[in-house]
Structure 1
Amino acid sequence: MIKNKWKIGFFILLGIMAAAILIIWILIASPVEETKVKPGTDGTGTDDVAFNVSTNKRDLNRVINHYLEEEAKNSQMDYQVLLTDEVELYGTLPLFSQELGLKLTFEPQALKNGDLILNQRSISVGKLNLPVSTVLKFVRDSYDLPDAVIIQPKEERVYVSMQKLKLKSDTKVRVNEFDLKKDNIKFTLLVPAD
């Protein structure tokens, strides 16, 4: 009888060990479960991935003017943007086979929808200060501007629709803050993830 208890104990122990080895083998051989990222979990409601960017005037000046140089190759208007405590635009205005120096100054305002309004402060052609609405109307009517840039002469401002702005790889930009006096510039890059 004692021999039978040892035999029974041995076979029970052998069965437990075999079951444990079998369970461990099944767990090891099972495929790894992948976590699925749900589209639109970034709060945008789209399949885009959001990258929050914080920058300063100096760096943004470099980026803006790089893109303006590229755009100037395909445009009739040559201009440069300088971010100081306000947005300053320098360029030339062709008039009767002459190139007139042009300076426009704007105060930027970020909107909740991610767009940007540039409220006109002053315009000068050469040393002559001109009415803002007149020059803005002339610029709007004379130049082929991107769809994202909407000149509103009556309101004396330029509306920049960031959703319509065409960037490489269908990346979109949403402006969050644009405070030049505090050198606090924040925006979100929305990069397509599909």
Structure 2
Amino acid sequence: MKVDSWKKGFLLLLSVNILIILIFVITISLPVNDNKYYKQDEELSGYVPFLIHTQKDNLNQVINHYIKKEASGGPIDYQVVLGKEVELYGVIPIFSEEIQMKMTFEPKALENGDLILQQKSMSIGKMQLPVTYVLKFIKDRYKLPKGVIIEPNDKLVYISMQKLKLKSDFKVKVNEFDLKRDKISFQFFVPTK
């Protein structure tokens, strides 16, 4: 009888090991879900597309008007300037002082029409702080427009164009965002219903 219980225990242990190995193999063979951001899931039937080409100067005015309207009232004032890269300027109140901040980002248009801003450089007064700390501070303290997601650990800002609230229910997709060559184009979708 002792031999039978030993065989049963061995088979049970072998089965558990095979199950663990099988789960491990299945898990590592599954594709990585790299798209943790929004997919362009909005149905665009009932919208007419218009292709818009613009320059940095014009877009600077629109972006800062939008920031002023949507993000005003936060504890930190900031503005965006499009130069050779995307520059964010702000003032951080620390104790009784106001510290100047500048961050630069490299923009990238995504296939779904959204925009990623990958952090490139940063300066806060003369202090050197870790980028992840500053991005977390901005995420926690700035009043950001809906659709703007800051990922401190990835050192990026994700702008979901489909989540930005625009007048008259317009939808927007970014086609090209090349600041070095001043080639910026969008598709505006105007509702027809």
Fold match (TM-score > 0.5): yes
Name the % identity.
58
Cα gap change, 1:48 to 1:74, in 2 (>3 Å): farther
Q: Runs of at least 4 residues of structure 1 off by over 4 A?
A: none
2:184 counterpart residue number: 185
Q: Does the 8 Å contact 1:123/1:131 carry over to 2?
A: no
Q: Distance in 1 between matches of 2:59 and 2:113?
A: 17
Q: Distance in 1 between matches of 2:60 and 2:140?
A: 27
Contiguous gaps of at least 5 residues in structure 1? 1-43
Distance apart, 1:70 and its partner CA: 2.6
Question: What is the one-letter code of the residue matched to 2:78?
Answer: Y
1:131 counterpart residue number: 130
2:17 counterpart residue number: none
> How many residues get paired?
151
1:111 counterpart residue number: 110
Q: Does the 8 Å contact 2:74/2:141 carry over to 1?
A: no
2:73 counterpart residue number: 74
1:55 counterpart residue number: 54
Q: Secondary structure at the match of 1:46?
A: coil
Contiguous gaps of at least 5 residues in structure 2? 1-42
Distance apart, 1:77 and its partner CA: 2.4
Q: Distance in 1 between matches of 2:165 and 2:44?
A: 20
What per-residue deviation string (whole Å, max 9, x for no partner) do you get for residues 52-110 of structure 1? 00011111112212222333543332111111110001111122232211101000000
The alignment's TM-score, normalised by the length of structure 1, stands at: 0.73
The alignment's TM-score, normalised by the length of structure 2, stands at: 0.73
Q: Distance in 1 between matches of 2:162 and 2:77?
A: 25
Q: Secondary structure at the match of 1:64?
A: helix
Q: Secondary structure at the match of 1:61?
A: helix
Structure with greater Cα Rg:
1
RMSD (Å), alpha carbons = 1.5
